[in-house]
Chain A
């Protein structure tokens, strides 16, 4: 089954841009039934959907983050990415990437990566 792995800096300064990559293995990122999403979880708290990108290339973002978020796919590398600009301490969280479908449930998930926003 698909395997996903997040990578990127574990520490980002306030006002800068958080950039993460999700590498997909044991399957092609380009298969029409596959779509991709990002979800985050602040330490000790619940889950927050960030956004999703679909096989068509269309995206949907959480309105609470929409002005700061970009999700894109690089089919040549079998990866997709998350960019979150103008970060603050409130963006400190474990960031997960996940496979999704047009029906918008998530599975499987990557193991997650902790990103801390601090100067």
Chain B
């Protein structure tokens, strides 16, 4: 099973600043990596798939990069609605696995 490790567990950022979230896979997953945003009491929302392709309707301030075992989600200028928990998921191997999440909180 591929283990996905996200860091940091919590990221404190001021509105308008840039946030950089990391996700590491225990072995290469090529570019088969997705990112999700989850707000309290809500279902996750797909942000990025294939490591760098934004899902429909996702603002351009969200960008994904990386391949192999190291991936990054960047949010260029944090808006109030971006404070949430973010999960990565590898979609290269069975079983599909998620990272433990990074909580982005207001500094």
Q: Which residues on A are within 8 Å of B, measured CB to CB?
A: 1, 46-49, 52, 60, 62-64, 96, 103-112
Contacts and interface: CB of A to CB of B under 8 A. Distances in A.
B34 A106 contact: yes
A103 B91 contact: yes
A62 B44 contact: no
B46 A46 contact: no
Contacts of A112: 43
A45 to B, nearest CB: 9
A48 B42 CA distance: 16
Contact of B44 (A47, A60, A103): A47
A5 to B, nearest CB: 11
Contact of B50 (A1, A49, A103, A109): A103
Interface of B: 1, 32, 34, 36, 42-46, 49-50, 55-56, 87, 89, 91, 94-101
A42 B55 CA distance: 26
Contact of A104 (B43, B56, B96): B96
Contact of B32 (A48, A62, A103, A107): A103
Contacts of B56: 1
Nearest to B91: A104
Contacts of B100: 46
A109 B45 CA distance: 7
Contact of B87 (A46, A62, A103, A104): A46
A105 B91 contact: yes
22 contacts: A1-B56, A46-B87, A46-B98, A46-B101, A47-B36, A47-B44, A48-B98, A49-B98, A60-B95, A62-B96, A63-B1, A103-B49, A103-B50, A103-B91, A104-B91, A104-B96, A105-B89, A106-B89, A107-B55, A108-B46, A109-B43, A112-B43
A49 B96 contact: yes
